[in-house]
């Protein structure tokens, strides 16, 4: 059985590839604190809400099944895996500026060749507002041009090649989260990073694909989490710290961690907000450096392991 052992060297992070996309809600800032809470041994790794892939890139598992419902995103990952040189050549041809941005945004991705389609995806991602991915009712990307003092770097050659090398043999699929894990079995590790449950009625952002991620979807995800646990899988999920999420995952281990939320039109709301990592397995907690305990504005404790219910 393939086995992954987590790296114990604190300097190992410098050797890991970093996400090639600027993904809203990505786990780049939290992944170093997730790693001590993840299982040290497992067979296959599943990540059904792939996004920028920060967790996959940090773990670098030898056997993985990565998926997302966003077909353009999965296509982009496939081109990084299979055609990195051609992709970089295409990325070098882009111009920087709002007029070029909106012209390229208006192009239907289906009208482009496979490499150019992925190149367009990365260009729009790196030059749009805050790395946000949002589509309208027709499923068309509609995020405005971002505000940049200088042209952003579209890719890092060595990083992209390292990602491509690691993806060899990795399965990439466009699938719903429940279909993506239908074959997960005892000993596999599944990590979910869904669109978060809104902190308030006005904070909801779920237009990640043509459909939205509803309250019912959150309930289906919690049901899938429990089903996988019953199969013997090692399961973890990230989500916002709300009473509803805590209720849905009552009985499992809950770790609250502070994260910076950047996508908000009001700067006063871009501070650190507690998010939850919920997991189904026994794991000794090793704390990361920095503030370790405290309470947020609502008096909820963060920085310590909590197990709710039974």
User: The domain that contains 257 carries what CATH number?
Assistant: 3.40.50.150
- Domain shared by 123 and 200, yes or no: no
Average pLDDT value for the chain: 84
pLDDT at 124: 97
Task: Give the pairing of strands 64-68 and 171-174.
Answer: parallel
Alpha helices in the chain (DSSP H): 31-34, 54-59, 71-82, 84-91, 98-106, 114-127, 157-167, 177-180, 215-231, 243-248
**Judgement on whether residues 243 and 103 belong to the same structural domain of the protein:** no
Q: Is residue 228 part of a domain?
A: yes
Hey, which residues does 258 pair with through a beta bridge?
274
- pLDDT, tens digit (0-9, with 9 covering 90-100), for 69-101: 999 999 999 999 999 999 999 999 999 999 999
Residue 13 confidence (pLDDT): 65
pTM over 0.95: no
pLDDT for position 27: 81
Q: For residues 227-245, b (16+ Cβ closer than 10 Å) or e, as one string?
A: ebbeeebbbbbbbbbbeeb
Q: Which of 255, 215, 98 is nearest to 106 (CA)?
A: 98
Residue 166 lies in a domain: no
Reply yes or no on whether the pLDDT at 268 is more than 70: no
Work out the average pLDDT over 107-128. 97
Most confident of 88-92, 197-201, 212-216, 282-286: 88-92
Residue 288 predicted with pLDDT over 70: no
User: Which residues does 295 contact at the CB level (< 8 Å), separation at least 6?
Assistant: 301, 302
**Residue 115 is encoded by which pair of tokens?**
């490499």
CA distance 186 to 189: 9
Residues 53 and 194 in one domain: yes
Q: Which residue has the higher pLDDT, 213 or 268?
A: 213
Whether residues 279 and 198 share a domain: the answer is yes
- Beta bridge mates, 239: 276
**pLDDT for residue 120:** 98
The answer, yes or no, to whether residue 265 has pLDDT greater than 70, is: no
Q: Is residue 190 part of a domain?
A: yes
pLDDT in tens, 131-147: 888 888 888 999 999 99
The number of distinct structural domains making up the chain is: 2
Whole-number pLDDT of residue 197: 82
pLDDT-derived band at 302 (thresholds 50, 70, 90) equals very low
């Amino acid at each position: 059985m393939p086995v992954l052992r987590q790296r114990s060297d604190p300097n190992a992070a410098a050797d890991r590839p970093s996400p090639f996309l600027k993904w809203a809600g990505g786990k780049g800032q939290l992944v170093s604190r997730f790693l001590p809470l993840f299982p040290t041994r497992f067979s296959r790794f599943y990540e059904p809400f792939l996004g920028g892939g920060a967790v996959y890139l940090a773990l670098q598992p030898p056997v993985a099944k990565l998926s997302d419902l966003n077909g353009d995103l999965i296509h982009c990952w496939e081109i990084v895996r299979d055609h990195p040189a051609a992709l970089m050549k295409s990325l070098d041809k882009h111009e920087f500026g709002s007029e070029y941005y909106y012209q390229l945004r208006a192009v239907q991705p289906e009208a482009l060749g496979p490499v150019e389609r992925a190149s367009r995806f990365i260009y729009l991602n790196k030059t749009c507002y805050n790395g946000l991915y949002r589509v309208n009712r027709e499923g068309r990307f509609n995020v405005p041009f971002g505000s940049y003092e200088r042209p952003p770097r579209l890719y890092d050659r060595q990083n992209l090649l390292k990602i491509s090398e690691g993806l060899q043999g990795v399965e990439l699929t466009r699938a719903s989260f429940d279909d993506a894990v239908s074959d997960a079995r005892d000993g596999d590790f599944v990590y979910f990073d869904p669109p978060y449950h809104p902190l308030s009625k006005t904070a909801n952002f779920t237009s990640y694909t043509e459909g939205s991620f509803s309250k019912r979807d959150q309930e289906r995800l919690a049901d899938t989490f429990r089903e996988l646990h019953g199969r013997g899988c090692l399961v973890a999920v990230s989500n916002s710290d709300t009473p509803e999420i805590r209720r849905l995952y009552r009985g499992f281990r809950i770790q609250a961690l502070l994260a910076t939320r950047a996508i908000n039109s009001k700067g006063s709301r871009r501070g650190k907000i507690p998010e939850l990592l919920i997991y189904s397995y026994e794991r000794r907690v090793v704390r990361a450096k920095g503030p370790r305990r405290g309470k947020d504005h609502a008096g909820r404790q963060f920085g310590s392991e909590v197990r709710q219910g039974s």
